[in-house]
Structure 1
Amino acid sequence: MPTFPPAPSTDFTADGSACHRSGSLIWVPLRSRWVDTTHAPEEVVRQDWVRRLVVEGGFDLSQMAQEKRTQHGHGSPRADIVVWSSAEARSAGAAAIMVVETKATEGEVIESDFRQGASYATAGGAGFLIAATATAYAVYEMKPGFPGMATQINDWPKKEDFADPRRLDKLKHSLRVFDRDEFQKLLADCHDLLRDHHAMTPDKAFDTISKILFIKLSVERRGAARTFRTDFLDAFESTRINQKVSAHEELFNQTKEAFKGDELFAESDRLDISDATFRAIVAKLERFNLSKTGDDIKGIAFEQFLGRTFRGELGQFFTPRPVVDFMVEALDPREGELVCDPAAGSGGFLIRVFDHIRSAISADIERQKTEAFERISSDYPEDATEDQLAERDQRIDEAFAALNADLVPMSADGRPADTRVGKLARECIYGTDKEPRAARTAKMNMIMHGDGHGGIHAHDGLVNINGVWEERFNVIVTNPPFGATVTNAQLVGATRESDVPDDSRYSRRQTERYGDAWQAGHRAVVQARHSPILDTFEIGRGKKSRQTEVLFVERVLRLLKPGGRAAIILPNGNLNAVSLGWLRRWTEGNAYLRGVVALPVETFKFSKASVSASIVFLQKFTDKDVEAWNDAWMAAAVATNPEYDAQRQAALTEIGGKALTANGAPDVIELIEKLQAIGVVRKFEGYTRVPNNELVRNAGTTKLGNAKWHGRAVGEAATLKKELTVALKTHSKAVKAAEKELRDKLREIDVAQTAAMWAHVREHFDYEVFMAAPAGVGITATGETGAHVPNDLPEVLTEFRRFQPWRASNTSEDGF
């Protein structure tokens, strides 16, 4: 048992900055006693809020109470701290004005964990609820009526706010979006500083801000946040011995080392700004904790700042957010699935995937919390004692805390945690982009949204790197670059973006992370070094060039596991240009076309890559699908061969006869008849069918054999044969014309049979395809988005979700 010291003479320390502490004891002024926090860590948070209500809020202890229940019994909700309008109102049992519920855990406020306080506030008629963890809090205005109706506001009301209805009304309408706007404004202010102090272009300024944000994040994760403060910089400046190395250069060098494994910065990267500029930016950012600021605040603020800064300069790296949301929701990536964007740009798709899956995990944890709450509550009788109710509440808090642990992406040392969200961040999200600035931006964007940046690499998306290799991913979502060309002069390994290390250290690191599965993809790159990138693709092999977006179609399908699903934005020319019919047929033989959503022409007008495009949904064939496709082609050959072989034979007889007789020349016919009379004839040996070895399935190629002599050509026959040979040479133009006609006809028959075979396959391999052409997709031609911009995609998504089960119920094949 601890020894309790005398009661302190004041409720809090002399300056009001802290609660009285003595070892593991804390003074509880509302109870006028010391409490041991060894097994009650929540008491520390609760008493700090009692102190804040008094010191910062101006409330009196006489108008407060702690650990109050609405009534005694099984279902009675408890509040950690209750505040009344006055001591008299408390004594009279009037309705409270504010309730505070606290938790000992760290991290963001999870609304459902505070149902006790919300229930008390609702039942007791309190107008406000403060939900607080050890490191964060959220404030809610409680609405009358249906239980649980609440609106989050920006800050908690003080005593003077309750005394002035206008102040209180203003506070109620100060919504949380203020924090997001403030953070975004700070980023814009930093951008303006760099522009004004160093005449930086927007892209250079953004690179610099990104580096500074990485410094801040790095020092926070290392527990060295004090080094990102103006007082530290001032002290460093006054005492530094080496005048050649500034504080910000040293901090950036440490940051580069901390993120070395991510290959985020080149060794030559520098933070090329003045000491004064760095200090000015630190002064603006030092009061923010990036590690603990809500992901929805810093993530969306960063993304909006990013879009406003770069939409003109680097528009090719952006896909409009409404389009991104639609594609990810339509694909519906699930927990445990591996997702890749091989042309990640600024990371918009991967961020949305991360949010989508994390939301699903959160929903599942909420379900488990409800079950835990009901299960634990059922263990206690209706007339439970206060001690039993306290035990129940503690068990519920412990169960919630254990479940909430799965929502934490990072451990205390800055590494991905062994949790559900931690595994999502570390093991499931991958992306590449060959533009280093885009890759770095994507990493920072991911960090701001809750992490998952470790799988993003500055690398050519057409070449394997680290965790990105063939047949690894369940889901691919991408908007590849349009209009560029890959030529046979672009070689694997010729640039940093198209090569991978091949040393023992790299191999050891990859094996530790991915096991042996990565080796086949790695060997493919190593063996292809100094060869054209084109030659690593079926549709590029032996070609002089291919359009980049065309190659990405094959890349997407190769990255997918059998049965994997993809959404890819493609120029409409890929879908309807006659010259690219081969690509559509090649794709049709490798994947199901699940949907096409034509985007309006203004979708990409804001960017340099202004082009008419569509979203194409694909599902890669499984082995079973490949077998069914091959069976359909065999059946098509069996069904069409008799008809078209008869046509070939008829052409051989009719047109072949013209070639043998020089189109009916009398002198040739006379000689042929004389030879036939003595048993010597000249005729075509028929034709052979050469199987198709090309990219796209077809009926094969018909090859015409040379005309040959039959019978013994001796004596008179030999003489006649020589005369016929001379006669045919005399009529060579007619002979060649007839032979060409025959070959053209056979080619025509091949084409016709190919069309018939495709028709046969499509009839027997038939399935429905979702088609839509929304008039608006949430973005204007100038790049403006928002609730006021027409957006038909939510309705299209609803119809797409209805279509998929309908299609599956009417076909035998699986799909999404």
Structure 2
Amino acid sequence: MAKKISRIADPNTAFPASANELHRDGDRLWVPLRNEWRDVSNKPEEVVRQRFIRILIEEYGYSLEQMDQERRTLHGHRSPRADIVVWESLDEKTASRTPILVIECKADGIEILVGDYYQGESYTRAVGCEFFIATNSRHTATFRLVPGLPGEFVAINEIPKAADWGNAKRLQEIRDSLRAFNRKEFQDLLFKCHSILRDVHKMDPGRAFDTISKVLFIKMYVERTGLHGTFTTDYLDRRDASRMPNDPLVHDGLFELTKQHYRADDLFSETDLLDISKETFRRIVKELERFDLSKTGDDIKGLAFERFLGTTFRGELGQFFTPRPIVDFMVQLIDPRERELICDPAAGSGGFLIRAFEYVRDHIVADIQAQKDEARALIEAEALPEEEEDREIEAAFARFNEQLLPSGDNNQPIDSRVGRLAWQCIYGTDAEPRAARTAKMNMIMHGDGHGGIHHHDGLLDINGIFGGRFDVVLTNPPFGSNVGSDQKVGASAESKVSLDLAYLDRCEIRYGRPWQLSHRLHRQAEIAKTPILDLFEIGKGKNNRPTELIFVERCLNLLKPGGRMGIVLPDGNLNNPSLAWLRRWAEGRARLMAVVSLPPETFRSSDATVKASLVFLRRFTETDSTAWDAAWAQAQAELDNGFDAQRNALHAASAPAILTGGDTEAARLLSELATLGVRRELPPWKLGEPPPYPRAIGRTTQAAPAWTGKAQHGQGAKAAELKRQAQVALTQAQGASAVALAALKAAYRPIDEAHNAALWARVRELFDYPVFVAAPKTVGITSTGETGEGVANDFETTLAAWRAFLSWMENGAKAENAPNFQRPSTA
């Protein structure tokens, strides 16, 4: 029996007087364009549609007479359908001429994915409409259809208003308002807020930035939790009206709530204050209120925030920024993949981690879209009734889209593909608290992934950042500073080893025994006040080492076997003869994948220019290590005897002068003693202990002459007298003997050096592999540090060459097919 629906009186107005409201009665909703009530219990998209119709009327000046909903291009089941269609006038609508706006609505609240809006997209193409709008419960995106076949949808910044259609100049401005303007607008707003703090409270740039960060975190807390609505001055007024006299001021109370919300992220200390006036806070909220951070796309707010940081603070915090073109290139070359763990132990403002997150997320989005296209084709092949087909496709898309959510409700981790990327795969540290906070804010603005970023010394383990764990490490370590032996584990806030019980339990459960071993090692080092240098092979026992050299070892240690790293290094590390040991040390632990030399202007500051290169390495797998050891064994088997023979010949030739000092009487006495069984001999040379690094033979050592043997029976007295006479003669020749001994020791050194050089040369022949080398002339950065569109950039060509090189390697690396690349120096 059909369900009986009671009659509801039709409303007198299309929409209620209350702002943003719709006429509703339980599950039924008034639909003005159809002049009917509809059951929306299973149709949340209808609510989105009616709300947007109200927005078109009240904010954009259109009328119901100009609109239609559920419009098809043709009669019949399979023709494209649009949720809302708008014409320039009633007459245009009546004559079924080309509409001016096509809108498709969905209830799904994730960021707009144009492929999900295929009905409206197809309708737009079919009728030749120029503007297509996709909207859902959280986001709205506007696109312009560029003429052509099939025609490209280009994101633009705004929706034309009804009054714009008689103004050709205004319409052209809208056509040209690419979505990048939206980023620029948000960036300008952030800078304006920064200026307010500077002008009103006389804040220096660093403190102003800290305060802006706090306000943005409050805004995100209010808007992203979904508990309070949009963060506006009206919202502040409502809270202020209900504030009790003893309650804190609204903005101070909101900051305390925000600190609690982000407590697990260690963003703020318990004593952190907002430290601005109520009036200033209100001015900033007013400036920012048109940008709802829960509805603004991650690419918009993320890039805006990043560019605001770069524009405003590059002078004060320049060491925490790696130019975007460098970051983009390194991420694309290293090619991180889904489920790979990614780390930057010197994260700065988070540029590498953010770009790696975006890069992997883009691959996930593309894969999800392919799955949705396949699912849609299978459902359409079933020839279901139209409404059932739509429901099936919507349900399938909703399931797929759940995999694109980065976080659950209340900023909590979620088990989705993007959620796992955000919460389980991104890790970073920075020892500067402002930089660490910036990285977290930057990551949140780009779509989460902030939970693994910490304020901590990047050379020490914390949370999930410990040795042998990561697939990818990308970093630009500090240049020009040193790690000294006075820097001890636990001696500063950023080097302390946490003993918080909740932290210990959480890490032990999540990371298991490898984390336990790491934590125990660091705790013991803290108790023993161990120098941080002593945790590293190339730092142990040293008074200091350049910071970037220690980070080379740190990054390799963080990688699992086969893991890949990209690091920015000063060219001195690559071509300075005094650092040949470093290059040999790294060569015995990782394969050199690529070296890309940068133009001098890439890293330029007010007082210096650092010529740098991008170095890409792959940590040895077990197979690599075995092959490397085998190459050394073979090289030594081939070469050691020859160099030993050289040492033997030198020893034999030098022995007489060392033994006698050139004194003929001493030589005569020693010869006579030898006939009696007593000899003075030069001991055989020996190889000392090999150095701890890099791999090499030990230095040849030579002991001083010594007496050996005993006099024959009955010859003891004679031998004793001859020995006494010989010692007298040797004492007189002692100086000459010492000179000859020193000369022998010195003569061993070039043999040792030649031996080591020959071994390394032979090992490189036996363990030979091609290395990609490039030196692009332009890398998207001007001599004044400017980046962006219009700046010459050869990186795209370099990447194309790298991919050709990889393809050549995968196809057997045949010499006759080798691409044009150079080998780096092997000093």
**Higher mean C-alpha displacement, 3-12 vs 536-545:** 3-12
Query: Contact 2:592 / 2:618 at 8 angstroms: preserved in 1?
Result: yes
Over 3 Å counting, the alpha-carbon distance change for 1:147 and 1:463 in structure 2 is same
Query: Contact 2:143 / 2:156 at 8 angstroms: preserved in 1?
Result: yes
Over 3 Å counting, the alpha-carbon distance change for 1:489 and 1:576 in structure 2 is same
2:304 counterpart residue number:
301
Q: 5 Å matches for 1:117-128?
A: 117-128=120-131
Q: 5 Å matches for 1:218-233?
A: 218-225=221-228, 228-233=231-236
Q: Choose which of 497, 508, 511 in structure 1 pairs with 2:508.
A: 511
Q: Distance in 2 between matches of 1:481 and 1:632?
A: 35
Query: Contact 1:315 / 1:608 at 8 angstroms: preserved in 2?
Result: no
- Normalising by structure 1, what TM-score? 0.95
Q: Choose which of 445, 449, 459 in structure 1 pairs with 2:446.
A: 449
Measured against aligned partners, the alpha-carbon deviations of 1:196-254 in whole angstroms (never above 9, x if no partner) come to 11111111111110111111112223444469443454566677556694332222222
Q: 1:700 is aligned with what amino acid?
A: G
Q: Distance in 2 between matches of 1:242 and 1:51?
A: 40
Over 3 Å counting, the alpha-carbon distance change for 1:127 and 1:229 in structure 2 is closer
1:749 counterpart residue number:
751
Q: How many residues matched?
A: 805
Q: Distance in 1 between matches of 2:688 and 2:17?
A: 97
Q: Distance in 2 between matches of 1:248 and 1:764?
A: 68
Q: 2:792 is aligned with what amino acid?
A: P
Over 3 Å counting, the alpha-carbon distance change for 1:315 and 1:86 in structure 2 is closer
Q: Choose which of 468, 471, 479 in structure 2 pairs with 1:471.
A: 468
Query: Contact 2:489 / 2:531 at 8 angstroms: preserved in 1?
Result: yes
Measured against aligned partners, the alpha-carbon deviations of 1:513-545 in whole angstroms (never above 9, x if no partner) come to 434442122112111111100110011111111
Query: Contact 2:327 / 2:351 at 8 angstroms: preserved in 1?
Result: yes
More RCO (CA 8 Å, sep 6+): 1
Which ranges in structure 2 are unaligned for 5 or more consecutive residues? 815-827
Q: 1:266 is aligned with what amino acid?
A: S
Q: How far 1:609 sits from its partner (Å)?
A: 6.5
Q: 1:146 is aligned with what amino acid?
A: L
Q: Distance in 2 between matches of 1:609 and 1:268?
A: 38
Over 3 Å counting, the alpha-carbon distance change for 1:54 and 1:787 in structure 2 is closer
**Higher mean C-alpha displacement, 207-216 vs 504-513:** 504-513
Q: Distance in 1 between matches of 2:606 and 2:338?
A: 33
Would you say 1:270 and 2:264 are equivalent positions?
no
Q: Choose which of 409, 416, 419 in structure 2 pairs with 1:419.
A: 416
Q: Choose which of 452, 457, 461 in structure 1 pairs with 2:458.
A: 461
Measured against aligned partners, the alpha-carbon deviations of 1:579-608 in whole angstroms (never above 9, x if no partner) come to 211111111111111111111111111366
Over 3 Å counting, the alpha-carbon distance change for 1:56 and 1:746 in structure 2 is closer
Q: Distance in 1 between matches of 2:701 and 2:59?
A: 93
**Higher mean C-alpha displacement, 234-243 vs 18-27:** 234-243
Q: How far 1:445 sits from its partner (Å)?
A: 0.6
Query: Contact 2:350 / 2:439 at 8 angstroms: preserved in 1?
Result: yes
Q: 2:731 is aligned with what amino acid?
A: K
1:589 counterpart residue number:
588
1:775 counterpart residue number:
777
2:671 counterpart residue number:
673
Would you say 1:539 and 2:538 are equivalent positions?
yes
Query: Contact 1:216 / 1:225 at 8 angstroms: preserved in 2?
Result: no
Query: Contact 2:461 / 2:518 at 8 angstroms: preserved in 1?
Result: yes
Q: Distance in 1 between matches of 2:101 and 2:90?
A: 14
Q: How far 1:440 sits from its partner (Å)?
A: 0.5
Instruction: Please state whether the residue corresponding to 1:126 is helix, strand or coil.
Output: coil
Would you say 1:149 and 2:152 are equivalent positions?
yes
CA RMSD for the aligned pairs? Answer: 2.2
Q: 5 Å matches for 1:151-550?
A: 151-225=154-228, 228-234=231-237, 245-380=248-383, 388-529=385-526, 530-550=529-549
Q: How far 1:632 sits from its partner (Å)?
A: 1.0
2:568 counterpart residue number:
569
Q: Distance in 1 between matches of 2:351 and 2:388?
A: 46
Q: Distance in 2 between matches of 1:561 and 1:722?
A: 66
**Higher mean C-alpha displacement, 680-689 vs 430-439:** 680-689
Measured against aligned partners, the alpha-carbon deviations of 1:349-396 in whole angstroms (never above 9, x if no partner) come to 11111111111111111111111121111111xxx7xxx122212211
Which ranges in structure 1 are unaligned for 5 or more consecutive residues? none
Query: Contact 2:139 / 2:297 at 8 angstroms: preserved in 1?
Result: no
Q: How far 1:754 sits from its partner (Å)?
A: 0.9
Q: Distance in 1 between matches of 2:22 and 2:249?
A: 40
Would you say 1:558 and 2:560 are equivalent positions?
no
**Higher mean C-alpha displacement, 697-706 vs 785-794:** 697-706
Instruction: Please state whether the residue corresponding to 2:403 is helix, strand or coil.
Output: helix
**Higher mean C-alpha displacement, 399-408 vs 503-512:** 503-512
1:702 counterpart residue number:
700
2:765 counterpart residue number:
763
Q: Distance in 1 between matches of 2:57 and 2:205?
A: 47
Q: 1:35 is aligned with what amino acid?
A: R
**Higher mean C-alpha displacement, 408-417 vs 582-591:** 408-417
- Normalising by structure 2, what TM-score? 0.93
Query: Contact 1:314 / 1:607 at 8 angstroms: preserved in 2?
Result: no
Query: Contact 2:711 / 2:719 at 8 angstroms: preserved in 1?
Result: yes
Q: Percent identity?
A: 51
Over 3 Å counting, the alpha-carbon distance change for 1:133 and 1:740 in structure 2 is same
Q: Distance in 2 between matches of 1:458 and 1:227?
A: 30
